[in-house]
Amino acid sequence: MTDFPFVFGAALVLNLAVTLRSSDCWKKYLTSSSDSEDAVDDTKQDLELKKTWRGVLNRYLAVYLLATLSDWLQGAYVYALYDDYGYSQHDIAVLFVAGFGSSMIFGTFVGGMADKGGRRTFVLLYCLVYGASCITKRKSLLNGVG
Amino acid sequence: MMGRLLGGIAYSLLFSIFEAWLIGAHTENGIKKYLSKSFTLAAYANSVVAIIAGLVGHHAASASKMVPILHKETLYVGGYISPFDISMGALVLCGVLALLLWEENFGDNNNSNNLHDHTAWHEGWKNACVATFRSPDILLCGVVSSLFEGSMYIFVFFWTPAITKAASVAGQEDDAAAVPLGLVFSTFMICCMAGSSLFSILVAAGHKCERIAVGVLAVACVSMALTAMYSSRVSTSSNDTTTHLLWTMNLFEMTIGLYFPCIATLKSVIVPDAHRVAIYNLFRIPLNAIVLMSLLTKWTPTQSFHLCTGMLLTATILQWILLKRRERHGSLVAGGAGKPTDDAEDIAPELELEREDSWSV
Q: Domains for chain B: give ranges and CATH numbers.
A: 134-359 (1.20.1250.20)
Residue B76's beta-bridge partner residues? B68
* CA of A43 vs chain B CAs: smallest distance (Å): 11
* Residue ranges, chain B, pLDDT below 50: 71-73, 110-119, 336-361
Interface of B with A in 314-343 (CB under 8 A): 340
Interface of B with A in 256-295 (CB under 8 A): 274-278, 280-282, 284-285, 288-289, 291-292, 295
For helices A108-117 and A119-135, angle between their N-to-C axes, nearest 10 degrees: 140
Over residues B221-272, the pLDDT tens digits come to 999 999 888 888 766 656 677 888 888 999 999 999 999 999 988 888 888 8
Among the partner residues B26, B111, B197, nearest to A18 by beta-carbon distance: B197
3-state secondary structure B43-61: HHHHHHHHHHHHHHHHHHH
The answer, for B298 touching chain A at a CB cutoff of 8 Å, is no
Over residues A109-142, the pLDDT tens digits come to 777 777 777 778 888 888 888 888 887 776 555 5
SS3 B68: strand
pLDDT at B353: 38
SS3 A79: helix
Q: Which of A2, A38, A79 to mutate to test the interface with B (most CBs of B within 10 A)?
A: A2
DSSP summary character for residue B104: P
The answer, for B102 touching chain A at a CB cutoff of 8 Å, is yes
The answer, for B99 touching chain A at a CB cutoff of 8 Å, is yes
Are B83 and A67 an interchain contact pair (Cβ–Cβ within 8 Å)? no
CA distance A6 to A12: 10
ipTM above 0.90, yes or no: no
Domain boundaries, chain A: 1-31, 43-145
CA distance B177 to B157: 17
pLDDT at B310: 92
CA distance A82 to A75: 12
Which of A69, A123, A132, A56 has the alpha carbon at shortest distance from B95? A123
pLDDT at B251: 92
Are B97 and A50 an interchain contact pair (Cβ–Cβ within 8 Å)? no
Contacts of A65 in chain B (CB under 8 A): 45-46, 49
Are B8 and A3 an interchain contact pair (Cβ–Cβ within 8 Å)? no
Contacts of B103 in chain A (CB under 8 A): 120
Among the partner residues A22, A110, A119, nearest to B20 by beta-carbon distance: A119
Q: Which of B15, B32, B84, B341 to mutate to test the interface with A (most CBs of A within 10 A)?
A: B84
pLDDT at A25: 59
Q: Across chain A, what does the average pLDDT equal?
A: 75
SS3 A13: helix
What letter represents residue B360's amino acid?
A: S
Model confidence at A144, pLDDT cuts 50, 70, 90, reads: very low
C-alpha torsion sign, points A132, B89, B192, A58: positive
Among the partner residues A84, A97, A116, nearest to B296 by beta-carbon distance: A97
pLDDT at A41: 54
Nearest residue in B to A142, CA atom? B1
Over residues B159-176, the pLDDT tens digits come to 888 888 787 776 655 555
CA distance B358 to B338: 29
For residues B343 and B334, the answer to whether their CB atoms sit within 8 Å is: yes
Are A123 and B289 an interchain contact pair (Cβ–Cβ within 8 Å)? no
Are A103 and B284 an interchain contact pair (Cβ–Cβ within 8 Å)? yes
Are B17 and A122 an interchain contact pair (Cβ–Cβ within 8 Å)? yes
pLDDT at B354: 39
Contacts of A98 in chain B (CB under 8 A): 1, 4-5, 8
pLDDT at B113: 45
Over residues A32-66, the pLDDT tens digits come to 444 444 544 557 777 878 888 888 888 888 888 88
Contacts of A69 in chain B (CB under 8 A): 49, 52-53, 87, 90
For residues B285 and A104, the answer to whether their CB atoms sit within 8 Å is: yes
Element (H, E) at B223: helix B209-232
pLDDT at A59: 84
The answer, for B66 touching chain A at a CB cutoff of 8 Å, is yes
State yes or no: pLDDT of A17 exceeds 90.
Answer: no
pLDDT at B223: 92
